[in-house]
Structure 1
Amino acid sequence: MIRITVALLAMFVVGTAQALPKIQFSKLDIAQNKRLIVFINDTNSLSGWAAQVNAHTDGQLKAAIDSAAFESKFGKTQTFYGLAPFAQVTVIGTGSGPLTQSQLQDLGGYAAASTPANGKHQFTVMADSLNTSVSVPAAWMAMGAGLRDYHFDKYKAATAQTQPRDFVFQTANYSAASSKYHTDLKYMVQGVHLTRDMASEPGKSLYPQSFVNRVKDAFDDIDNIDIDVLKVRDMKKHQMGAILGVGQGSIHEPRMLVIQYRGGKKGEAPIALVGKGITFDTGGISLKKNSGMWQMKSDLSGAAAVAGTMLAVASRGEKVNLVGVMPLAENMPAEDAIRPGDVLKTMQGTTIEIISTDAEGRLLLADAVRYTQDEFKPRMLVNIATLTGSAARALSDEYAALVTRDWSLAQDMMNIGETSGEAVWPLPLHPNFFKQIKSDIADIKNSGAGNPGASIGAAVVATFVDKDVPWVHLDIAGVDWLNKPIAVAPKGSQGWGVRFLDQLVRENRN
Structure 2
Amino acid sequence: MLTIQLSSPDTFSGGLRARIATAPPAPKPALSDPEAWNISHDPASQTVTAFIRSSEGMTPENLRRAASLLVRWLAYNRIESVGLDLAESGLLAPESVFALVEGMLLGDYRFDIYLSNVTPFSIEVDLLTETPTAYEHVVRRAAIICESVNLARTWTNEPANVINPVTLAERAQNLAAEYGLICTVLDDHQLRQMGAGAIVAVGQGSNTPSRLIILQHAGSKDERPIVLVGKSLTFDTGGYSLKGSESMLGMNVDKAGAMAVLATLIAAARLKLKTPLVGILAAAENMVSAHAYRPNDIIKTLSGKTVEVLNTDAEGRLVLADALTYAQRQFDPRILIDLATLTGGVVTALGSIRAGMFATDDELAEALFRSGERTYERLWRLPLDAEYAELVRGEKTDLVNSAIPGRKALPIIGAIFLKQFVDDGRRWAHLDIAGVADAEKRKAYCPKGATGFGVRLLMDYLENLE
Same fold (TM > 0.5): yes
1:181 correspondence with 2:139: yes
Find the aligned partners of 2:167 and 2:76 in 1 and give their Cα distance. Answer: 30
Distance 1:118 1:326 in 2: 41
* 1:468-483 → structure 2 map (5 Å cutoff): 468-483=425-440
- List aligned pairs for 1:206-221, cutoff 5 A: 206-221=163-178
Q: 1:27: how far off?
A: 2.3
Change over 3 Å in CA distance of 1:112–1:312 after alignment to 2: same
Structure 2 stretches lacking a partner, 5+ long: none
CA shift, 1:217, in A, is: 2.3
Deviation of 1:188 (Å): 0.7
Matching residue of 1:106: 65
Structure 2 partner of 1:198: 155
Q: Which amino acid aligns with 1:126?
A: D
| 1:365-400 Cα deviation digits (max 9, x unpaired) | 000000000000111000000000011111111001
**TM-score scaled by structure 2?**
0.92
The structure-2 alpha-carbon separation of the partners of 1:294 and 1:487, relative to structure 1 and needing over 3 Å to count, comes to: same
- Amino acid aligned to 2:112: D
Aligned-pair distance for 1:213? 1.8
Query: Which position in structure 2 is the counterpart of 1:366?
Result: 321
Query: Does residue 78 of structure 1 match 2:22?
Result: no
Q: Which residue of 1 aligns with 2:103?
A: 144
After TM superposition, give the deviation of residue 310 of structure 1 in Å: 0.5
Residue 467 of structure 1 aligns to a residue in which SS? coil
Partners of 2:230 and 2:77 in 1: how far apart?
Answer: 34
Matched, 1:300 2:255: yes
Shift of 1:117: 5.1
Q: 1:274 is matched with which residue?
A: 229
TM-score normalised by structure 1 residue count: 0.85
Residues 163-172 or 290-299, more deviating:
163-172
Which amino acid in the other structure matches residue 313 of structure 2? D
Tell me which amino acid in the other structure corresponds to 1:83.
A
After superposition, the Cα gap between the structure-2 partners of 1:43 and 1:282, relative to the gap in structure 1 and judged at 3 Å, is closer
What is the deviation of 1:134? 4.5
- Please give the alpha-carbon distance, in whole angstroms, between the structure 1 residues aligned to 2:443 and 2:7: 28
Query: Is the 8 Å Cα contact of residues 90 and 114 (structure 1) preserved in structure 2?
Result: no
Aligned to 1:257, the other structure's residue is in SS state strand
Tell me, yes or no, if the aligned pair for 2:38 and 2:53 is still in contact at 8 Å. no
Whichever residue aligns with residue 194 of structure 1, its letter is L
Which residue of 123, 127, 132 corresponds with 1:165? 123
CA contact (8 A) 1:37 1:92 kept: no
Q: 8 Å contact 2:375–2:456 — kept in the other structure?
A: yes
Between 356-365 and 427-436, the greater mean CA deviation after superposition: 427-436
SS in structure 2 of the partner of residue 160 of structure 1: coil
Match of 1:232 among 180, 188, 200: 188
Of 401-410 and 24-33, more deviation after overlay is shown by 24-33
240-249 vs 185-194, greater mean Cα deviation: 185-194
Counterpart Cα distance in 1 of 2:157 and 2:334: 32
How far the C-alpha of 1:32 sits from its partner, in A, is 4.1
Please, what is the CA RMSD of the aligned residues?
2.5
Secondary structure, counterpart of 2:9 in structure 1: coil
Q: Which moved more, 1:361-370 or 1:112-121?
A: 112-121
Offset from partner CA, 1:425-445 (integer Å, 9 cap, x none):
011112221001011111000
CA distance in 2, matches of 1:376, 1:485: 39
AA at the equivalent of 1:170: L
Alignment of 1:317-328 (within 5 A): 317-328=272-283
- CA drift of 1:177 comes to 1.8
Kindly report which structure 2 residues correspond to 1:452-491, keeping only aligned pairs within 5 A, or say none: 452-491=409-448
Match in the other structure for 1:243 = 199
How many percent of aligned residue pairs carry the same amino acid? 32
Contact kept, 8 Å, 2:19 with 2:88, in 1: the verdict is: no
Q: In structure 2, what residue type is equivalent to 1:484? A: K
Unpaired runs of at least 5, structure 1 = 1-19, 45-64
Change (3 A) 1:166 1:215: farther
Secondary structure in 1 matching 2:307: strand
2:349 to 394, 400, 403: 394
Q: Give 2:270's aligned residue.
A: 315
Which of residues 328, 341, 345 in structure 1 aligns to 2:296? 341
Amino acid at match of 2:17: L
The corresponding residue for 1:381 is 336
Matched, 1:446 2:415: no
Q: CA deviation at 1:74?
A: 12
Distance 2:440 2:131 in 1: 37
Measured against aligned partners, the alpha-carbon deviations of 1:88-143 in whole angstroms (never above 9, x if no partner) come to: 52332264546444443333223223222586511223333556784252233112
Q: For residues 395 and 136 of structure 1, what CA distance do their matches in structure 2 show? A: 29
Contact 1:112/1:145, CA 8 A, preserved across alignment: yes
The match for 2:17 is 36
- Cα deviation, 1:331-384, whole Å, max 9, x if unaligned, reads 001111111111110000000111100000000100000000000011100000
Partner of 2:388: 433
Name the structure 2 match of 1:91. 50
Task: Spell out, residue by residue over 1:244-276, the C-alpha distance to the aligned partner (whole angstroms, 9 max, x if none).
Answer: 00000000011011001011224x101110000
Q: 1:254 aligns with which of 185, 207, 210?
A: 210
CA distance in 1, matches of 2:91, 2:48: 23
Contact preservation (8 Å) 1:273, 1:323: yes
Cα distance between partner residues in 2 of 1:304 and 1:153: 19
2:172 counterpart SS class:
helix
SS in 2 for 1:193: helix
Paired residue type of 1:82: P
Could you tell me which of 108, 113, 117 is aligned with 1:154? 113
CA positional deviation for 1:164: 4.4
The correspondence of residues 40-55 of structure 1 with structure 2, limited to 5 A, is 40-42=21-23
Asked if 1:128 is matched to 2:90, the reply is no
